[in-house]
Amino acid sequence: MVKLILRKEEFEVKAGMTVQHALEKVGLDSHSVLATRQGELLTDDEILHEGDVIKLVPVISGGKL
């Protein structure tokens, strides 16, 4: 299993799926969070492996440039 952590929430998904598919499975939009594994940023097409712990960082937008 793979553990996804967003703030104080934890989700578990099966290993072997992509980051994007895992996020969809738990009801999260891949555009609203950044996925990291051991401090490394993951792309949406990255395959998740058994025992991975993925930390999800909310994307914050807004303001003027």
The per-residue pLDDT for 51 is 98
Three-state SS for the chain is CEEEEECCEEEEECCCCEHHHHHHHCCCCCCCEEEEECCEECCCCCECCCCCEEEEEECCCCCCC
Total domains, the chain: 1
In a domain, 65, yes or no: no
Q: Could you tell me the CATH number of the domain that includes residue 20?
A: 3.10.20.30
pLDDT one-digit tens code per residue, 15-43: 999 999 999 999 999 899 999 999 999 99
What is the value of pTM for the model shown? 0.88
